[in-house]
Amino acid sequence: MKIFLDTANVDEIKKVRDWGLLDGVTTNPSLAAKELAKGISFKELVAQILKETPGPVSVEVVATDYDGMLKQALRIGALADNAVVKIPMTLPGLKTIKTLTEKRIPVNCTLIFNPLQALFAAKAGAEYVSPFVGRLDDIGEDGMSIIDEIKTIFINYNIKTKILVASIRNPVHVLRSAIIGADVVTMPFEVVSKLTSHPKTDEGLKRFLDDWKKDFGDGDFPL
C-alpha cells in the first residue's frame, strides 16, 4: 500500500520523505489556500511540491465546465512527469477524464462518495479514484464500507484503476484500508505521526536505556 501525504505544506512533505515513508502527495484547493495565505504564489507552491515529492502529486482543477477543466488540466499535466490531474466526479468531469486519458495524462478522480461513482470514473479512464471516507463518517455513514465495495467491484471486472483512500482522519482508517487491500492511502501529517508512535515503544525504549546506563553510564558506545 502506497502512502501519500494529503497536504500542500512543503515542510511536511520533506519530513515524511526524509523518514522514508513518502510515496506521493495529494493536494486540493482548500489545502493550497492555507499555504497561499502565507504569501507564496500558487505556481511556486506547486513547483516546490512537485520537486520535493519522489512520486505522483495530485493537483486539482478549479474550473467546473469541460473546456475550463481541460485547459487547466493540460497546464497541470505539462508541469512535470509526476503531475497527476485531480478532477471532480461530475458529468463534465467524466468527459474531461476521458479526454485526458486519451492524451495519456494521469487523472485522480476526486470527491467520490459511492462505489458506482468509482466504477464510472474508472470506466472513463481515471488512474486513481479518491473516495472520501472521513466525510462519510461525519454524516453517520461507514466510510470504509465503500472502500470494501469498490475493491470488490474492481476485482469483479479486473479494473486496474487504483483505489486511493482519501479524507483519512485516524490510524484505524489506514489499518482498514490495508486489510481491504486499497492501493493508496492519503493522510494528513498528524495521522502519519500518530501511526509511527506507541506508548509501549516509548516505555520499552526507556527501560532498555535505563538498564544499559546501570552498567555503562553515559560513556562512549563500547564497540
Q: Could you give the residue numbers annotated as active site?
A: 86
Site for ligand G3P in 111-170 (CB under 6 A): 132, 134-135, 166-167
Nearer to ligand G3P among residue 110 and residue 221 (C-beta)? 110
Site for ligand G3P in 24-63 (CB under 6 A): 26, 28
Q: How far apart are CA 123 and CA 86, in angstroms?
A: 16
Nearer to ligand G3P among residue 72 and residue 108 (C-beta)? 108
Q: How far apart are CA 118 and CA 98, in angstroms?
A: 14
Nearer to ligand G3P among residue 86 and residue 151 (C-beta)? 86
Instruction: Quote the least distance from Cβ 28 to ligand G3P, whole Å.
Output: 4
Instruction: Quote the least distance from Cβ 145 to ligand G3P, whole Å.
Output: 17
For residues 6 and 26, the answer to whether their CB atoms sit within 8 Å is yes
Helix axes 91-102, 115-124, angle to 10 degrees: 30
b or e along 123-161 (b: 16 or more beta carbons within 10 Å of the residue's beta carbon)? ebbbbbbbbbbbebbeeeeebbebbbbbbebbeeeebeb
* Total residue length of the chain: 223
Is 6 a binder of ligand G3P (CB under 6 A)? yes
For residues 127 and 94, the answer to whether their CB atoms sit within 8 Å is no
Nearer to ligand G3P among residue 176 and residue 203 (C-beta)? 176
Is 4 a binder of ligand G3P (CB under 6 A)? no
- Grid-cell match 467491484, residue found: 153
Quick note: the x/- pattern for ligand G3P over 180-199, rule CB under 6 A, is ------x-------------
In the complex, the residues that contact ligand G3P under the rule CB under 6 A are: 6, 26, 28, 132, 134-135, 166-167, 186
